[in-house]
A and B are shown apart, each in its own frame.
Chain A
Amino acid sequence: MNTTNLAEALPRVYEQPQEEKTIIALKDVSIYYGSFQAVKQASLDIYEHRVTAFIGPSGCGKSTVLRSINRMNDMIRGSRIEGSVRFHDHDLYAADVDPVLIRRKIGMVFQKPNPFPKSIYENIAWGARINGFRGDYNELVETSLRSAALWDEVKDKLKQNALRLSGGQQQRLCIARTIAVQPQVILMDEPASALDPIATGRIEELILELKNSYTIIIVTHNMGQASRVSDHTAFFMVDEKRRGYLEEYAPTEQLFLNPAHKKTEEYISGKFG
C-alpha cells in the first residue's frame, strides 16, 4: 500500500522541543451541575507535545475539568462553566465557537472502550468521512491503525465487527479512531482502567509514542501510570463542600519526588484516596 502522501502529512517523530509552549490555558474555571459546584476556580496551562496527567481522589472533578476542554460537558444537562478555557488563544466558550469543530481538534478517548458497532475499517473511516476527508481511505485506516499499534493484529480482519476485538484492542482502536481525524490534543479519561495489566502497558507505551505528535491529557487513578507516562501532573483535591479544586500542578518528577503541599505528599504516598 502506498503510504507516502499521508505519512508525510501525519506528524513525524521528532525531538521534543525544549521550550514549553502553552496550547491550552484554563483560568479560574468553575463548573456547576445545576446548583452543585463540582470544580472551584482551577487555573492551569497545558503544554504542547507533553503528556499532562490529572490525578486525585474520586469526586475531585478531574474528569469534569478534562471534559470542559472539548466541551463534552455541554452534553450533560444542567452543566455550566465560569472562567475561561483558551485553546491557541481562542476562547473555547465564546458565543461564535462551534463545539463540534472543537471536538475534531481536541479528540477524546473514554474510560470504557466504546468502538462503534461497525467494522474496524468503518470505525476509523467514519469520523474522517463526516469531517470531509478527501484522501485515500485505505491509507488513512492503515496509518491510523499503525499509529495506535494495532495494524498487525487487525490487518487481515478490517471488515470484522469492532466489538469482537478484546478490550485492549478496542481501546487502541478508539485511539486510532481519534487520531484519524487529526486532532491536536487527545483527552484520555482513565483509558486503561477497564483493561488488564498487559493491555494497560501497551496503552502506556502508545501514549509515550503519541506525545511526539499530539498533546495528551490523561486522567488516571493509577499513580504509577501518571509517573510513567506524564511530563506534568495536576493534583486535584476535594474541599469540605465536596467541591474539587487544583491543589498542586508541577512537572511530574517534582510533584512525585518533592511535592510542595502536604496533601499532595499524603495522597501520593497512599495515605488517603
Chain B
Amino acid sequence: MLSETLFGTDEMMTSLMQKRKAGGVVWKVVFLFSTSLAILFLLLLLVSVIDSTFGYVAVRNEMEPSQLVAGKDAVSEFSRAELETVLQEHLSSGILRRVLHDKPLQERSKTDLVSLAQQYVVKPSVVRSWGLGDSLLDQKSIEAFMAGNEGLHLTFRSWINWSFFTSDQSANPLNAGVRTAFLGSLWIIMITFVFAFPIGVGAAIYLEEYAVDNKLNRLLQLNIFNLSAVPSIIYGLLGLAVFVRSMEHITSGAFLSSVSDTTANGRTILSGGLTLALLVLPIIIINTQEALKAVPDSLRMSSYGVGATKWQTIASHVLPASIDRILTGTILALSRALGETAPLVVIGASTFISVDPSSIFSKFTTLPIQIYQWSARPQGAYRNVAGAAIITLMLLLMAMNSFAIIMRDKISKKKRMES
C-alpha cells in the first residue's frame, strides 16, 4: 500500500527540495552566461565598427588654401568671386573644359564650387587615420606623429556623414560615398521581392494546402529543406550560368533593344536580383509553410462546414490568418538577401560605379560588395570608409526588420480588433 512515509521524513523532503532548487539555479546561471556571451560579442562588433568610423585624420593638402587666398585657411571661407578665380587659374585645361561643358561656373552653387576646388585644387589626401579609441586615449602618439611630419592638418572626422550618403565612389577615401551601392542594394532587393514573394508563397500554399501526402511531394519537401542549406556561392554559380550567360539576351535588356551605356552583358541588376530570389526562395517557402501550419485546422473545417470550396477557404480564412507571419518571414528572408555578397561577386557585380543604376538592366554594386572592396584596399583610410558603410548597411537592415515587426504587430492588432 502506498503511504506518505514512502516520500521520507519532512527533513529529507526539505533537503531534497534544496537540491532540486540548486539544480535549477545552476542551469539558470548557464543560460544567463550564454546570453551575456552573445551580447558581449554583439557589443564588440559594434565597438569595432564605431571605432573605425570616427577618429582623427592627418591630411596633407597639395595646395594650401592660404596660398590661394591669403589669410583664409579653408576653401569654404572663400567668397564666390575668389572661388571662381581660383578654379579658372588652377584647374588643368582639360578638367576645366569638362567642368565648363557640364555647367558654367556662374550657374553652379557655392557648395558645388567649394567641392570642385577641394577636389581639383587643394587635393587633400589622408596620410594617416586613427580609430576612435586611439583618438581619445592615445593622443600622445598622435601628437608625436604630427610633430614628426611637417605640413599636415589634424582634424577629427566622422567618416559617416551626409556627403558619404550622397557621393558616389572615388579614388580618394575622403570623397568616397555609398550612394551608388545603396541604390544598387535597393534595386536588387526590389527585384528579389517581386520574383521570390509570389513564387515562394504560391509554392508554399500548394505544398501545404493542396499537395497529397505521396512520395513525390515528400521528395519535393525534402529538397526544399536541402536547398535552403545550400551555400550562397553555389547560387552565384547557378545565376552566372543561367541568368548571366544563357539568358543574356533577356537579362542584358537586348531583347528590348534598350541596351544603355551602363549595361555589361548579362551582369545586370535583373541577373543579381533573380539570383538572390533563387537564394531566398526556399527560405520564403519554408517560412510560409510554417505560417500556414500555424492556422488551426478548426478554421478550415468551419469554412468547409458552411459549404466553402478549397480556394474560398484559403483566400478568405487561411491567408488572412497567416499573412502577418508570411510577411515577417519574407522580410527576414530579404534581409538575408540584402547582406549577401558571394553570389553577386560570382555573377560579376561591378566594384567601381559612379553612375546611379537607372533600370533593371544597369550595372550595379551593392553595400556588402563595397564593404568587401573597401576593406580589402591597401590604404588604411579605406578601412574607415568601410566602417561607415557597415553602419549604413546595419541601419538599412535594422529599418527593414523594424518595419517587419511593426507591420506584424499592426496586422495582428487589426485581426484582434477586426471591424
Residues of A within 8 A of B (CB): 70, 72, 75, 77-78, 100-101, 103-104, 107-110, 112, 114-119, 122, 126-127, 130-131, 159-161, 174, 177-178, 180-181
A-B contact pairs, 14 of them (CB 8 A): A72-B301, A100-B304, A100-B309, A101-B307, A104-B306, A110-B302, A114-B301, A116-B299, A117-B415, A131-B306, A159-B419, A161-B417, A177-B302, A178-B305
A118 touching B418 in the complex, CB below 8 Å, given contacts A100-B308, A103-B307, A181-B307:
yes
- B302–A107 contact, CB under 8 A? no
Give the residues in chain B near A161, CB-CB below 8 Å: 416-419
B87 → chain A closest CB, angstroms: 68
- A110–B305 contact, CB under 8 A? yes
Select from chain A the residue with minimum beta-carbon distance to B309.
A100
Give the residues in chain B near A100, CB-CB below 8 Å: 304, 307-309
- A119–B419 contact, CB under 8 A? yes
B25 → chain A closest CB, angstroms: 40
Asked whether any CB of chain A lies closer than 8 Å to the CB of B317, the reply is yes
A258 → chain B closest CB, angstroms: 36
Select from chain B the residue with minimum beta-carbon distance to A70.
B305
Chain A CB within 10 Å, residue with most, of B213, B307, B316, B317: B307
- A108–B416 contact, CB under 8 A? no
A174 touching B316 in the complex, CB below 8 Å, given contacts A104-B307, A118-B418:
no
Select from chain B the residue with minimum beta-carbon distance to A78.
B213
B206 → chain A closest CB, angstroms: 16
Say which size band chain B's interface belongs to: 20 to 34
Beta-carbon contacts of B293-327 to A below 8 Å, as 1s and 0s? 00010111111111111001000110011000000
- A126–B306 contact, CB under 8 A? yes
Give the residues in chain B near A75, CB-CB below 8 Å: 300-301, 304
Give the residues in chain A near B307, CB-CB below 8 Å: 100-101, 103-104, 107, 127, 130-131, 181
Select from chain B the residue with minimum beta-carbon distance to A107.
B305
- A177–B306 contact, CB under 8 A? yes
- A77–B302 contact, CB under 8 A? no
Asked whether any CB of chain A lies closer than 8 Å to the CB of B212, the reply is yes
- B418–A117 contact, CB under 8 A? yes
| A130 and B299 alpha carbons, distance in the complex (Å) | 16
B404 → chain A closest CB, angstroms: 22
| A72 and B296 alpha carbons, distance in the complex (Å) | 16
- A130–B312 contact, CB under 8 A? yes
A103 touching B306 in the complex, CB below 8 Å, given contacts A116-B317, A119-B419, A161-B416:
yes
| A181 and B212 alpha carbons, distance in the complex (Å) | 30
Select from chain A the residue with minimum beta-carbon distance to B297.
A75
| A78 and B213 alpha carbons, distance in the complex (Å) | 9
A77 touching B212 in the complex, CB below 8 Å, given contacts A127-B306, A178-B306:
yes
Select from chain A the residue with minimum beta-carbon distance to B320.
A117
Give the residues in chain B near A110, CB-CB below 8 Å: 298, 301-302, 305
Chain A CB within 10 Å, residue with most, of B213, B302, B304, B316: B302
- A103–B302 contact, CB under 8 A? no
| A114 and B304 alpha carbons, distance in the complex (Å) | 12
A116 interface neighbour in B212, B213, B302, B309, Cβ under 8 Å: B302
B358 → chain A closest CB, angstroms: 45
Give the residues in chain A near B415, CB-CB below 8 Å: 117
- B418–A115 contact, CB under 8 A? no
Give the residues in chain B near A174, CB-CB below 8 Å: 302
Task: Kindly list 12 other residue pairs between chains A and B, CB separation below 8 angstroms, not including A116-B302, A161-B416, A177-B306.
Answer: A103-B307, A107-B306, A110-B305, A114-B299, A116-B317, A117-B299, A117-B415, A118-B418, A126-B316, A130-B312, A130-B316, A174-B302
A249 → chain B closest CB, angstroms: 25
In chain B between 370 and 419, which residues have their CB closer than 8 angstroms to a CB of chain A?
415-419
A147 → chain B closest CB, angstroms: 15
B310 → chain A closest CB, angstroms: 8
Q: Which 7 A-B pairs give the minimum distances between C-beta atoms?
A: A104-B307, A127-B306, A114-B298, A108-B305, A161-B418, A114-B302, A119-B419
- A112–B317 contact, CB under 8 A? no
Select from chain A the residue with minimum beta-carbon distance to B306.
A127
B303 interface neighbour in A116, A119, A122, A160, Cβ under 8 Å: A116
Give the residues in chain A near B321, CB-CB below 8 Å: 117
Give the residues in chain A near B416, CB-CB below 8 Å: 161
Select from chain A the residue with minimum beta-carbon distance to B419.
A119
Give the residues in chain B near A72, CB-CB below 8 Å: 301, 304-305
Give the residues in chain B near A114, CB-CB below 8 Å: 296, 298-299, 301-302
B58 → chain A closest CB, angstroms: 64
Give the residues in chain A near B212, CB-CB below 8 Å: 77
| A100 and B307 alpha carbons, distance in the complex (Å) | 5
| A160 and B298 alpha carbons, distance in the complex (Å) | 21
A119 interface neighbour in B298, B317, B418, Cβ under 8 Å: B418
Give the residues in chain B near A78, CB-CB below 8 Å: 213
B26 → chain A closest CB, angstroms: 41
Give the residues in chain B near A160, CB-CB below 8 Å: 419
Give the residues in chain B near A70, CB-CB below 8 Å: 305
Give the residues in chain B near A104, CB-CB below 8 Å: 306-307
Give the residues in chain A near B299, CB-CB below 8 Å: 114, 116-117
B189 → chain A closest CB, angstroms: 32
- B419–A122 contact, CB under 8 A? yes
| A181 and B312 alpha carbons, distance in the complex (Å) | 15
Beta-carbon contacts of B86-113 to A below 8 Å, as 1s and 0s? 0000000000000000000000000000
Give the residues in chain B near A108, CB-CB below 8 Å: 301, 305
Give the residues in chain A near B305, CB-CB below 8 Å: 70, 72, 103, 107-110, 178
- B304–A181 contact, CB under 8 A? no
| A109 and B298 alpha carbons, distance in the complex (Å) | 11
A45 → chain B closest CB, angstroms: 24
B12 → chain A closest CB, angstroms: 41
| A177 and B317 alpha carbons, distance in the complex (Å) | 15
| A159 and B317 alpha carbons, distance in the complex (Å) | 18
| A104 and B312 alpha carbons, distance in the complex (Å) | 14
Beta-carbon contacts of B307-351 to A below 8 Å, as 1s and 0s? 111001000110011000000000000000000000000000000
A130 interface neighbour in B298, B300, B308, Cβ under 8 Å: B308
Chain A CB within 10 Å, residue with most, of B212, B303, B418: B418
| A123 and B415 alpha carbons, distance in the complex (Å) | 14
Give the residues in chain A near B418, CB-CB below 8 Å: 117-119, 161
